[in-house]
A and B are shown apart, each in its own frame.
Chain A
Amino acid sequence: MQIGRVIGNAVATVKHASLKGWKLLLVQPLHENAKPDGEPFLVVDGVGAGAGELVLISSDGVAARNLIGDRKTPVRWTVIGICDQ
């Protein structure tokens, strides 16, 4: 799990069937000192996070498949919480 900041979102019409109806957030992973840690990437949001929010993201592919409800989804990263501080 990692802390990240929501810095945008993506819209896609043509996509893997399992992604239908899911919000795709562009998340910048952060170090503990709030400095960027690597490149931003797209994360599936099941929590309802918005732009600028600090989120907890998980790379558990099994959790992603459970959340989306599709054994064949290519998703790895999901938002699992919004951080207060």
Chain B
Amino acid sequence: MRLAEVIGTVTLSRPHPSVAGFKFVIAVPHTRQSLLGGAKPDGEDIVVYDDLGAGDGSKIAFSDSAEAAAPFYPEKKPIDAYCACLIDSLTITEGK
């Protein structure tokens, strides 16, 4: 799961039936530099499915790839990024 920070939400006026009612957030993934430097994330932003209630500024861990759709099994959903947890605290012990 990659770490990211939420910077906004996406609202669909005409969703595909399979994603009707879903909530999506815009998240900026952390890079090695931003994590180790304690800076704001500076990766390429990505739209993430969220049902945990992530809001602006939330630090999240999201799954991408095929596992992002696993929580909907046995239904098939076109989801490739899934917010798996809201991070309370992140401890970095080593910078190497």
- Give the B-binding residues of A (Cβ under 8 A): 5-16, 19, 24, 26, 28, 36, 38-43, 51-52, 61, 64-65, 71-77
**B73-96 to A contact mask, C-beta < 8 Å, 1/0:** 100000000101111111111111
> Of B5-13, B15-23, B59-67, which stretch is located at the interface?
B59-67
Is B2's beta carbon under 8 Å from chain A? yes
Decide if B92 touches A8 in the complex (CB within 8 Å). yes
CB contacts (< 8 Å) of A51 on chain B: these are: 93-94
Chain B: minimal CB distance from A34 (Å): 8
Decide if B85 touches A61 in the complex (CB within 8 Å). no
Decide if B66 touches A15 in the complex (CB within 8 Å). no
Q: How many residues of B contact A (CB 8 A)?
A: 35
- Give the A-binding residues of B (Cβ under 8 A): 1-3, 29-32, 35, 43, 52-53, 61, 63, 65-68, 70-73, 82, 84-96
Q: For residue B86, which residue of chain A has the nearest CB?
A: A14
Q: For residue B58, which residue of chain A has the nearest CB?
A: A14
CB contacts (< 8 Å) of B86 on chain A: these are: 12-15
Decide if B92 touches A26 in the complex (CB within 8 Å). yes
Decide if B52 touches A8 in the complex (CB within 8 Å). no
Chain B: minimal CB distance from A62 (Å): 10
Cβ-defined partner of A72 (8 Å) among B30, B65, B71, B85 = B71
Decide if A71 touches B94 in the complex (CB within 8 Å). no
Decide if A71 touches B70 in the complex (CB within 8 Å). yes
Chain B: minimal CB distance from A13 (Å): 6
Given contacts A16-B52, A39-B32, 11 further A-B contacts (CB under 8 A): A5-B96, A8-B93, A10-B61, A12-B85, A13-B86, A16-B85, A26-B3, A39-B2, A39-B35, A72-B72, A76-B63
